[in-house]
Amino acid sequence: MSVRAGEHDTVATLLRDYRPESFFLASPRGVVLAPSPAFGLTSPDEARSALADARPGTLLVGAFPFDLRRPARVGLSERVRHAAPMVPGSVTTPAGVSAVRWSWNDPDPGAYQVAVARALDRITAGDLRKVVLARSAELIADRPPRPAELLAALAASDPSAYVFATDLGRRTLLGASPELLVSRRCGTVLANPIVGSAPRDPDPVQDGHNATALLRSVKEHQEHHMVVDKVADALAPLCRRLRVPKLPELLRTAQMWHLSSRVTALPREGVTALDLALALHPTPAVCGRPDGSAREVINEVEPFRRDFYTGIVGWTDTWGDGEWAIALRCGELRDASLRLYAGTGVVETSTPEEGAAGTSAQLRTLLSALGAGDAER
């Protein structure tokens, strides 16, 4: 049998055995390690047909970029290990994550505000309702960190997150995302759009105020519903018995409060988790509305290509079950350089200052797991 059930595996043993060439995803439903997948599939069509021809028990694993026309990094794995979900305390923070210093911001916070102002002009002109604009920053470590130690630091910092690491070829994509794009497990489909954010605060009283303000914010609710409606529309042709909650709930990560909606459905015959993910991606949680205008603005004003940031990371098995998370709160590690990314939604009522503050808060997920401060230049 090609799949090892791994009765004795725990998240700690899977983290111990993770290597730079591996695929790792921990979710609230379990942990998957594919030790060395045959990455080599670069498009959605190749991925679909390879999965259809694969031996029973094989997993398709890896990442698709934000722009599905660009090359994916996906492969099949016949050797897969599983463990029960992480719980607080199941992973201890590694001692030796290397010290890091800021190298650059792209764009710098001032230029980012100018980009947000340009997007607001487009919204005022009437052809755009929302666009998610991102920033990137580079940290340099004193010595090249091992992907395994960064992965363990992320897992220890937020066991409720979708913690992932996947090989990109000489680079590793690593992150702790709050957002499940879609899963199909035990005959049920779950999509979990997360839009609307407020930073956590070390002072519990202020932390509570931040959460309450988020729950009461008309702007954040409007933005949230825009994404939930689009997700429901994309799922409708592939599912039946779609259930969309009327109101979002609060979600707490180590660094952020979010508004979250759990949309559930039953999959139509033959629809796999991969089909669902490719039909949904990218949602307006990472792109905007209308989709075409938002992509245009992203291409015009973001000074870098997103590649796998805001792409999707996950797996699908030969029975069609699987999980795909959105690649958020993540970075790309190459030798001693860690390139981080963060974005925030710009809508009619946004301000450039709020946009910059939002992205700084999103960056904290990786910075605090690394023990690095907020010092932006």
Interactions with ligand ISC, residue window 276-335 (CB under 6 A): 285-286, 328-329
Q: Note whether 214 binds ligand ISC by CB under 6 A.
A: no
By CB under 6 A, residue 253 contacts ligand ISC = no
195 binds ligand ISC (CB under 6 A): yes
Kindly state the smallest distance separating residue 63's Cβ from ligand ISC, in Å.
15
**Of 147 and 355, which has the nearer Cβ to ligand ISC?**
355
**Which positions from 51 to 90 touch ligand ISC by CB under 6 A, shown as an x/- string?**
----------------------------------------
Per rule CB under 6 A, is residue 210 in the interface with ligand ISC? no
Radius of gyration of the chain (CA): 20
**Cα–Cα distance list, 360 to 129, 135, 136, 202 (Å):** 23, 9, 10, 16
* DSSP code per residue over 22-86: -EEEEETTEEEEESS-EEEE-SHHHHHHHHHHSPTT-EEEEEE-SSTTSPPEEEEES--EEEPPP
- The answer to whether 345 contacts ligand ISC (rule: CB under 6 A) is yes
The CA distance from 265 to 226, in Å, is 19
Determine which one of 21, 149, 179, 223 is catalytic.
179
Q: What is the DSSP letter of 236?
A: G
Structure tokens at 254: 């180590």
Those residues with Cβ within 8 angstroms of residue 42's Cβ, 6 or more apart along the chain or in another chain: 71, 72, 73, 74
- Determine the Cα–Cα distance for residues 137 and 106; give it in Å rounded to an integer: 6
The two three-digit tokens of residue 162, written as one number: 């979708």
The nearest distance, CB 359 to ligand ISC, in angstroms, is 7
Q: Is 179 one of the catalytic residues? A: yes
Question: Is there a contact between 109 and 376 (Cβ–Cβ < 8 Å)?
Answer: yes
Q: Which is nearer to ligand ISC, 75 or 355 (CB)?
A: 355
> Active site includes 130?
yes
**194 counts as binding ligand ISC under rule CB under 6 A:** yes
User: With binding defined as CB under 6 A, does residue 352 bind ligand ISC?
Assistant: no
Which residues of this protein are in contact with ligand ISC, per CB under 6 A? 132, 179, 194-197, 258, 285-286, 328-329, 342-345, 358, 362
Active site residues: 130, 179
